[in-house]
Every structure is written in C-alpha cells, then in structure tokens.
Amino acid sequence: MSYRDRLQGRLDETGRPLRIGLVGAGQMGRGLAAQLLKMPGISLSAVFDVDRARAVEAFEQAGITPSGATDIDTAARAIENGESAALGGVDELGALPLDIVVEATGVPDVGARTAIEALAAGMDYATLNAEQEVTVGRYMLRLAEESGRIYSVCRGDEPVETKLLVDFARDLDFEVICAGKGKNNPLDPYATPDGLAAEATAKRMNPKMLTEFVDGSKAMIEMAALANTTGLEMSKRGMYGPSSTVPTLHETFALQEDGGVLDRPGVVDYCVGPVSPGVFVVVRTDDDYVQHEMAYLQMGDGPYFSFYRPYHLASIEAPLTVYQIALDRQPSLTAEHWTAEVGAESKRALKAGELITGIGTDTIRGLADPADDFEKENGVPLGVLAGARLTRDVPADRMLTYDDVELDEDSLIVRMRRYQDALAHGEPVPSLQDLRAAVTR
C-alpha cells in the first residue's frame, strides 16, 4: 500500500494529522514544506528560523496563514487547536506538541541542538544536514537509540539514494566495486562566496551554500555519509573524481588491472561529466550465466556492470523519510559504520591568529579521508571548525590537524564530537537528558 493511502488510513483512524516541525526556512526547507503538504494527514505545525519573517514566508508560499503566536506557550495552544506557528530559535522546541521535527539548515551546530531538543522531548528527528551527520552521526544514533525515537538523514540527497542502489546490488549478491555520484557543479577547489555571488543570486542560493557545492566540500560530505552508512571505504584521500559518462561508468570505476581507476573494490567515489545529477553503483560478477543474462538484458558484457539512477530530487523527496519514520518506524540513513571522515584543507595560506569562517567560505574546503588514516594524522573534522582560530601558519592545500587550531569549546558541535570520540574509545558519555540539561543551562 502506498504511503498516501497509509497516511489517509492513519488520519481516519486517529482523527488528527501528523504534526511536523521544520527548522530552517531556506531553499531546502521550503521545497520540503511545499511537497510535504501535498499528502493527506500531514500538518506543517511549526516553522523555525532565526529570521522569523522567513518562517512566515515559508508558510505563506505553502498556502498557510500561521497564527500570530510568537512564544512557545501560545504556539503550543495554537498547534493543539490545529493552527500553525512561525517561530525563531529552537531552544524550547521540545515544549511543542510535535510528532516529527525536520531540520534543514546545513549548519552542524544548529542541527545538533535541534536533534537534542527533539529527541529529549520524545519526538522523532529527520535531517537534511549531511554536514552534521559526517561530524557526529554515530553519536546522534546513540542518542536516538537511548530515547527510543528515530533519527534519520532524509531521502532525496545522494547518500540515501545511492545507499538504496547499494542495498539493491547486495540483495542480488553482486560484488559492490564502487558507489557514488556525478558531481553537479564544475569543480573549483578555490571557489569563494565573493566570486560566486552573482551566480548565487541568479540561482536564489546562499553564496556560502553554492561555494560548498563548487569547491567539492559537498561531494566529500555526501560520499563520507554514504561510506558510513554502507560500510564501504573511502577510495583514497579526496577520492579520484575522474571524468566519466553514464555508458562508461563500469569502465571508469573498474579495478586498475582491468583498466579503471580503483586500486581495490568496495569503495565510494564521485565523477565529473554528464553523470550528474544521478547516482550509481558499479558491481561485478564472476558467474558466467549471470553475465549471459545481464548481456541479454542489455546491461553490458561484464564482468562489471553499472546500476544508475538519473536523478535525485533533494528536498522534494525528503518527505519520504517523514512517512517512513511515521509509518514504518525505520530510518532512511544512519551511520551504522564509521569508515570515513571529512576534514578540511586550506584554500589559501592561512596565518596564525586567523579565524576560520566555516564551510563554504574562502578559508577551507572539505576533504574526505579514510577514518583510520584521519585519526592517525590527528585530522580535525570539517564540521567543528567554524569559529576556530589558527595557532600557527598553514600553507595552502594542506589538511588541518588539531595541532593547527584552537577550537571554540563552547560550541555544541565541538562538545558532541568530543563525546563521539570518547564513545569510540569506550569512555563514558553524557546521557541524552544530561546533555540537554547542559545545553539549556
């Protein structure tokens, strides 16, 4: 039975819709809201944004007039009465009668704070924030399990859609050689928000977000998330990122002894060229009859074959995760493994005392790395670097380590990453409720 029919059945049975809270009223959040409300049994009950006017606009573009509530108590009463509320910060989010909170800011610290509030209050939590996932995803999964609620990265972006292809290939007992995506923007590792300002305006995008796409950071983040959910490995630091086409994916991502770029099977990578906006899995089989059948089905001669999905619909597909959580009690993507990290590489020479301005700026770009190598080299995660200060000069094009920076230890995402590292080494970490109490003090 389709999600549409099941949502209608739930509404008929319970007499009230699913109450959804949305954090972040930017491009991604608005796209999700517009699509979400096309289904029966769904209420967009609250939208949070640091700019409350944008939260109001998100409702209005979805055809909803929010109540005038601006404080939590009034907003809670409005939601109970079937109305909606446009609000600012998320600190009191847990006091609202919501079922599922969806976070769409792309800011790791905001995502972590939202997750803690939602999970501690007994709400499920879904995120479009892959930046948060590759920084503290393993700890987030631990907190969700402790709360008895669901935590998930949303459908629509490449990690989840590629994971589905990996699952498909594994369920058919193909050997997964490589899984990945076509990069959507021309690669410029030295891109800056100032240099992309005009293009960002034309695309109605935040220049920092566009910079994150163009400089390769987003590809690094997404492929690390894919590795950590599937258990596949990072192909190498920074990945190969070769040129390819859809018909030649199985040749490009073959092993080196067979003419491809890879030194081993079971990895993630990306390519440039006319593969975007699609995602792919390259597989191999040594079974002569399976190769014969695949050739008959016009999949090629083997032993390498590619499975390709020609699109990913970003925020338009994200509601599928909301339905999956509500009706199936299953996440779409979590970090079941931790084989990859995303560190940071300097875009230019950086000076001691200089402030790192975060993802999508002129200081650093994301750099994916095998997790074991990253730990050995004392790499510092990209997601904790906003607000960090350089302790020494760093030349251009070098991966940053903890020795290079002084982190903002008051930052929630920094603290959570410390806890995740402690968890990995078998050390005690705060409970969800203790963490929430510390955050709200």
Digit-coded pLDDT (tens) for 269-323: 999 999 999 999 999 999 999 999 999 999 999 999 999 999 999 999 999 999 9
Bridge partner residues of 255 (DSSP): 262
Whether the ω angle into residue 370 lies within 30 degrees of 0, i.e. cis, is: no
Beta strand pairing status for 100-103 and 18-23? Answer: parallel
Q: How far apart are CA 7 and CA 323, in angstroms?
A: 8
Q: Which of 77, 18, 33 is nearest to 318 (CA)?
A: 33
Q: What are the two backbone dihedrals, phi and then psi, of residue 133, each rounded to the nearest 5 degrees?
A: -60, -45
Name residue 272's beta-bridge partners: 243
Does the domain at residues 340-408 carry the CATH identifier 3.90.1210.10?
Answer: yes
Over range 121-132, report the average pLDDT. 96
Token output for 151:
């935590």
Query: How many angstroms separate the most distant Cα atoms in the chain?
Result: 68
CA 302 – CA 292 distance, rounded (Å): 8
- Paired sense of beta strands 340-346 and 405-406, if any: unpaired
Percent residues over pLDDT 90 in the chain: 90
Domains 3-157+316-328 and 340-408 agree in fold: no
Give the pLDDT score at 89. Answer: 83
pLDDT at 441 over 80: no
Distance, CA of 439 to CA of 412 (rounded, Å) = 8
Task: Note the pTM of the prediction, 2 decimals.
Answer: 0.96
Using CA atoms, how far residue 388 sits from 275, 375, 411, in Å, is 36, 19, 10
- What is the residue-averaged pLDDT of the chain? 95
Q: Which residue(s) pair with 34 in the sheet? A: none
Q: Mean of the pLDDT values across residues 350-367?
A: 95
pLDDT at residue number 273: 95
CA distances to 34, 106, 319, 375, 380 from 28, in Å = 10, 9, 12, 33, 28
3 state DSSP class of 420:
helix
Assess contact for 79 and 98: CB atoms under 8 A. Answer: yes
Domain coordinates of the chain in residue numbers? 3-157+316-328, 158-312, 340-408
CATH number of the structural domain 3-157+316-328: 3.40.50.720
358: left (phi over 0), alpha (psi -120 to 50) or beta: left
